[in-house]
Amino acid sequence: MDHFLYKDGALCAEDVPVADIAAQVGTPFYLYSSATLLSHFKAMDDALAWSDHLVCFAMKSLSNQAVLKLLGDAGAGMDVVSAGEYKRARAAGVPGDRIVFSGVGKTREEMRIALEGGIRQFNVESEPEMAALSDVATSLGVVAPITVRVNPDVDAKTHAKIATGKAENKFGIPISRAREVYAMAAALPGLQVVGIDVHIGSQLTDLDPFGLAYDKVAELTETLRADGHTITRLDLGGGLGIPYRAGNDHPPTPAAYGKLVQEKVGHLGCEIEVEPGRLLTGNAGLLVAQVIYVKQGEDRQFLILDAAMNDLIRPAMYEAHHDIIPVVQPAPGVDPVQYDIVGPVCESGDTFAKHRTMTPLQDGALVAFRSAGAYGAVMASEYNSRPLIPEVLVQGDQFAVIRARPTFDEMINRDTIPEWL
Ligand SMILES: *Cc1c(COP(=O)(O)O)cnc(C)c1O
């Protein structure tokens, strides 16, 4: 469900024609819908209504502060993976007691920043990290609430680069070693065990791997309680997949996921946390681009866009599919053609789609990549010295640039040429 629909032949974001925004902002740009973000958040929040719960938005998927404020004001917590994300969330007004800190390589400096600023919990991923956190908390004279992230060794059946719950992955502590690690936590000063954390991967389109993982978490909860630990909170991670092919992909709904969670761990009486990223943001964003040239190749036609892999790296990095649609609704009865859709960057990997069936387009036409809200803008770079592209947020009939396009001078003046050159 999203709010990017054709109205009178023009693609609109909520009530604003995308072409109007393009005329004011220039292309390419990211475009987010507030109503879509909020409805996705509400779907997950409602799915857990049976429990005492907190939906912690995995802000690495889309970390613009306007989006953080929108979701934070709606009651979301945040899942952060760096001090930079922690500071961004706080700058957007999210209180520390709604922020959980994940990640395999938290530095002592990052721990200090979060402990001083206020934090709901650290999700600890290794024994050395636990020892470091104990040290930092003790030296500050505070107690750090923790869960231990366990690796349940289940196959998330997703792309290898975004699977995190197999024994071969760098994430979490093997669930077979959980008891000794919790014993270590209980013995260290400055730490307070509050629960268990698990996150098995991203873009899961089947509930079964979640079920397997949550069964193991439920069993571990009972074991750890019998060992004398206080387990009152289960952080069940993110990862629920979204439809990338409109009309063809049918991932499980948040409601079905919420029901599974209730079945698997509801009887334990724990507070539930989840960390959805893509689910909230993926289909709440478009990447809008313009056709620079239609180029005839030996055996195919190329649609060369002004957006490139530096702006949206998912196709190059994960072989990801994005629906790409024209901003002017195709007239009925026009025969479609096939294009390879590419960007201007000097790499063959700068290909968004091959043999894509589209309505015929001319130079200057606008197109929109659907499902570009998650892991889009946040993964962008200035490769080929292409300035980062702007982000725009729509709400009803209004829109605002929430990150401006840097000028060429702003981009190149970040370099410093040493005096001795
Ligand atoms: C990336 C990540 C998430 C979010 O994953 P999505 O697939 O975007 O929901 C949640 N928790 C942790 C620990 C992560 O690393």
3-state SS class at 204:
strand
Ligand 1 pocket test, pick from 44, 102, 210 with the greatest ligand atom count within 8 Å of Cβ, gives 102
CB distance 20 to 252 below 8 Å: no
Confidence tier at 170 by pLDDT (50, 70, 90): confident
Residue identified by tokens 């307070």 is 192
% of the chain residues with pLDDT over 90: 95
Q: Which of 12, 56, 270, 346 is catalytic?
A: 346
- Report the relative pairing of strands 324-326 and 366-369 from DSSP bridges: antiparallel
H or E element, residue 357: strand 351-358
Tell me the average pLDDT of the chain. Answer: 97
Question: Which of 359, 354, 373 has the alpha carbon at shortest distance from 62?
Answer: 373
- Residue 128 token pair: 């050395």
Ligand 1 pocket test, pick from 44, 199, 205, 244 with the greatest ligand atom count within 8 Å of Cβ, gives 199
Asked whether residue 159 carries a pLDDT value surpassing 80, the answer given is yes
Which atom of ligand 1 lies closest to the CA of 278?
A: 8
* Gap between the Cα atoms of 391 and 389, Å rounded: 7
Asked whether residue 169 carries a pLDDT value surpassing 90, the answer given is no
- Burial grade of 154 (CB within 10 A; 0-12, 13-18, 19 or more): buried
Residues 6+ apart with CB under 8 A from 372: 30, 282, 285, 286, 287, 312, 322
Tell me, in angstroms, the distance from the centre of ligand 1 to residue 373's CA.
14
* Gap between the Cα atoms of 377 and 144, Å rounded: 32
Residues 6+ apart with CB under 8 A from 260: 207, 210, 211, 214
- 247 φ/ψ angles, rounded to the nearest 5 degrees: 85, -20
Asked whether residue 1 carries a pLDDT value surpassing 80, the answer given is no
- Burial grade of 393 (CB within 10 A; 0-12, 13-18, 19 or more): buried
* Gap between the Cα atoms of 194 and 212, Å rounded: 22
Residue identified by tokens 């209004």 is 398
- Residue 396 token pair: 């009803």
Confidence tier at 42 by pLDDT (50, 70, 90): very high
Which atom of ligand 1 lies closest to the CA of 123?
A: 13
Residues 6+ apart with CB under 8 A from 273: 53, 54, 55, 56, 77, 100, 233, 234, 235, 236
Whether the CA torsion 219, 220, 221, 222 is positive or negative: it is positive
329-357: pLDDT as tens digits: 999 999 999 999 999 999 989 999 999 99
Average of per-residue pLDDT across 357-369: 97
Confidence tier at 161 by pLDDT (50, 70, 90): confident
Asked whether residue 29 carries a pLDDT value surpassing 80, the answer given is yes
Asked whether residue 281 carries a pLDDT value surpassing 80, the answer given is yes
Asked whether residue 202 carries a pLDDT value surpassing 80, the answer given is yes
Average of per-residue pLDDT across 387-406: 98
110-154: pLDDT as tens digits: 999 999 999 999 999 999 999 999 999 999 999 999 999 999 999
End-to-end CA distance of the chain: give it in Å, rounded.
Answer: 56
Confidence tier at 413 by pLDDT (50, 70, 90): very high
Tell me, in angstroms, the distance from the centre of ligand 1 to residue 281's CA.
12
Tell me, in angstroms, the distance from the centre of ligand 1 to residue 331's CA.
40
Active site residue 346: yes
Residue identified by tokens 């996921």 is 257
Asked whether residue 158 carries a pLDDT value surpassing 90, the answer given is no
Domains and CATH numbers, the chain: 4-31+282-412 (2.40.37.10), 103-274 (3.20.20.10)
In this predicted structure, what is the pLDDT of residue 119?
A: 98
Average of per-residue pLDDT across 26-30: 98
Average of per-residue pLDDT across 398-408: 98
Tell me, in angstroms, the distance from the centre of ligand 1 to residue 170's CA.
14
In this predicted structure, what is the pLDDT of residue 21?
A: 98
3-state SS class at 7:
strand
Asked whether residue 397 carries a pLDDT value surpassing 80, the answer given is yes
CB distance 133 to 191 below 8 Å: yes
The type of residue at 362 is: Q
- Counting every residue, how long is the chain? 421
Task: Tell me which DSSP letter residue 389 carries.
Answer: P
Across-strand partners of 162?
Answer: none
Ligand 1 pocket test, pick from 61, 63, 240, 375 with the greatest ligand atom count within 8 Å of Cβ, gives 61
Whether the CA torsion 358, 363, 365, 370 is positive or negative: it is positive
H or E element, residue 31: strand 29-33
Residues with CB under 6 A from ligand 1: 58, 60-61, 79, 102, 199, 202-203, 237-239, 275-279, 374
Which atom of ligand 1 lies closest to the CA of 202?
A: 7
Task: Tell me which DSSP letter residue 64 carries.
Answer: -
CB distance 32 to 393 below 8 Å: yes
Tell me, in angstroms, the distance from the centre of ligand 1 to residue 148's CA.
16
